[in-house]
């Protein structure tokens, strides 16, 4: 199987995983990216079994609507049954780097109100230590250079994502060369830099369940030690 086939398999598995949890009142959170897109396409078959969805990006909202799935503003929803999204890297504690597609801030907000976070990846995304994938940081445009200098001070090599504007009208800096041995501490440190909107570490709110697409099939993992 190639990587896209693994992503498709894990997207289908996520739809199967949440199927028994669905109720007519349930609203679910939906992430962004190619793996999340496979999930959306698989979810479409169950669209009459739940109320609707909150999207983590405009692209996801458009895809959900194309399948006839109602899309809610998060401000009109009290709770999300589940949040399903991909990731760029995951460690054995199910701490993640996300934001390769630039939707990290909305992904973080939507994940924060979900009862359960189901992360879906192919097995190329598994690592022992986070940081090989450049860490995306969303910044207010006027703070780009100031934040970049601080990121150099943290040992990273910041690279401005040329020509990319987030759904929130901001910029992304991709930080290369970090070896993130304490993801919670790094998350706090970068979130504390003035001008940073948020960054792509999901350590304080890691995934609860990881579905991994492998050649041998889809494996369900929980955080190490749980």
Residue 33 binds ligand 5RP (CB under 6 A): yes
Minimum Å distance from CB 3 to ligand 5RP?
A: 8
* Per-residue binder mask for ligand 5RP (CB under 6 A), 35-54, x = binder: x-------------------
Residue linked to tokens 């998060």? 74
Q: Which of 89, 95, 107, 138 is catalytic?
A: 107
Interface residue with ligand 5RP among 18, 50, 53, 101 (CB under 6 A) is 101
* Terminal C-alpha separation, the chain: 31
Name the segment binding ligand 5RP (CB under 6 A); options: 75-83, 95-103, 155-163, 166-174. 95-103
Smallest gap from Cβ 136 to ligand 5RP, in A, equals 7
* Interface residue with ligand 5RP, options 34, 112, 189, 191 (CB under 6 A): 34
Return the residue of 61, 103, 151, 193 that touches ligand 5RP, per CB under 6 A: 103
SS3 for the chain is CCHHHHHHHHHHHHHHHHHHHCCCCCEEEECCCHHHHHHHHHHHHHHHHCCEEEECCHHHHHHHHHCCCCECCHHHCCCECCEEECCCEECCCCCEECCCCCCHHHHHHHHHCECCEEEEEEHHHECCCECCCCEEEEECHHHHHHHHHHHHHCCCEEEECCCCCCCCCCEEEEEECCCECCHHHHHHHHHCCCCEEEECEECCCCCCEEEEEECCEEEEECCCCC
Measure the CA–CA gap between 74 and 48, rounded to whole angstroms.
Answer: 20
Restricted to residues 70-89, the positions that interact with ligand 5RP (CB under 6 A) are 85-88
Q: How many residues form the binding site for ligand 5RP (CB under 6 A)?
A: 17
C-beta separation of 35 from 11 below 8 A: yes
Give min distance, CB of 49 to ligand 5RP, in A: 24
Shortest Cβ 46–ligand 5RP spacing (Å): 21
Q: Supply the minimum distance, in Å, between the C-beta of residue 153 and ligand 5RP.
A: 25
107 has catalytic annotation: yes
Q: Is 29 in the site for ligand 5RP (CB under 6 A)?
A: no
For binding to ligand 5RP (CB under 6 A), which residues are involved? 31-35, 85-88, 98-104, 107
Catalytic residues, by residue number, are: 107
């Amino acid at each position: 199987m190639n990587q896209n086939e693994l992503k498709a398999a894990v997207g289908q598995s996520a739809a199967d995983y949440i199927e028994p949890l669905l109720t007519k009142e349930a609203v679910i959170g939906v992430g962004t990216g190619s793996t999340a897109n496979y999930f959306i396409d698989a979810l479409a078959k169950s669209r009459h079994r739940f109320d609707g969805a909150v999207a983590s990006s405009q692209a996801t909202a458009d895809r959900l609507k194309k399948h006839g799935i109602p899309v809610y503003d998060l401000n009109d929803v009290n709770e999300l049954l589940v949040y399903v999204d991909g990731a760029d890297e995951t460690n054995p504690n199910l701490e993640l780097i996300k934001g390769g597609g630039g939707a990290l801030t909305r992904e973080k907000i939507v994940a924060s109100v979900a009862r359960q976070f189901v992360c879906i990846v192919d097995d190329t995304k598994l690592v022992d230590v986070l940081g090989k994938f450049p860490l995306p940081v969303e910044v207010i445009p006027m703070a780009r250079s100031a934040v970049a200098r601080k990121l150099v001070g943290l040992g990273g090599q910041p690279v401005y994502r040329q020509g990319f504007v987030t759904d929130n009208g901001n910029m992304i800096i991709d930080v290369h060369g970090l070896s993130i041995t304490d993801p919670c501490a790094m998350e706090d440190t970068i979130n504390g830099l003035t001008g940073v909107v948020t960054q792509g570490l999901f350590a304080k709110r890691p995934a609860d369940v990881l579905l991994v697409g492998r050649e041998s099939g889809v494996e369900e993992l929980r955080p190490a030690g749980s």
